[in-house]
């Protein structure tokens, strides 16, 4: 069962996302800020991270930079209300797999996660 880390300071957003993931038989971990998210990513090595950009302690961009610096090759899907092209470009430059508008539609999130998990599986084989 794939393990997905949700990093978002909004309890409502985490709950909605967790329910979508659980309906698709994914296990979830949750972090309410960037620092906690990095610690969980290091310790648990989830199959994918769902990351909000506007989070306390370490924002989403700083989070992505740390993943790169520490060579943690965990696919990240950014989920944000900020859809500016500069934001999308910066996320891609920092290694994000995809950027989704917040709140994500269940089908859209499911499709992107399936793609991420299939690619990750291919890389490990």
**What is the predicted pLDDT for the residue at 124?**
63
Domain-wise residue ranges, the chain: 3-124
The CATH number fitting domain 3-124, selected from 3.30.9.30, 3.40.50.2300, 3.30.200.20, 3.40.50.10860: 3.40.50.2300
Find the radius of gyration of the CA atoms of the chain.
13
Cβ count near 59 (within 10 Å): 16
- At residue 46 the predicted structure's pLDDT band, cuts being 50, 70 and 90, is very high
Under a CB-based contact definition with an 8 Å cutoff, are residues 1 and 28 in contact? no
Task: Decide: pTM greater than 0.75.
Answer: yes
50-63 per-position pLDDT tens digit: 999 999 999 999 99
Mean of pLDDT values over 20-28: 94
């Amino acid at each position: 069962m794939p393990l997905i880390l949700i990093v978002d300071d909004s309890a409502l957003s985490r709950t909605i996302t967790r329910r979508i993931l659980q309906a698709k038989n994914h296990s979830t971990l949750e972090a309410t800020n960037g620092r906690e998210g990095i610690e969980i990513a290091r310790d648990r090595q989830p199959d994918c991270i769902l990351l909000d950009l506007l989070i306390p302690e370490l924002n989403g961009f700083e989070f992505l930079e740390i993943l790169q610096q520490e060579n943690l090759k965990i696919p990240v899907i950014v989920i944000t209300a900020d859809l500016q092209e500069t934001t999308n470009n910066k996320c891609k430059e920092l290694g994000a797999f995809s950027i989704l508008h917040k709140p994500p539609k269940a089908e859209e999130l499911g499709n992107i996660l399936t793609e991420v998990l299939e690619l990750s599986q291919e890389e490990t084989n």
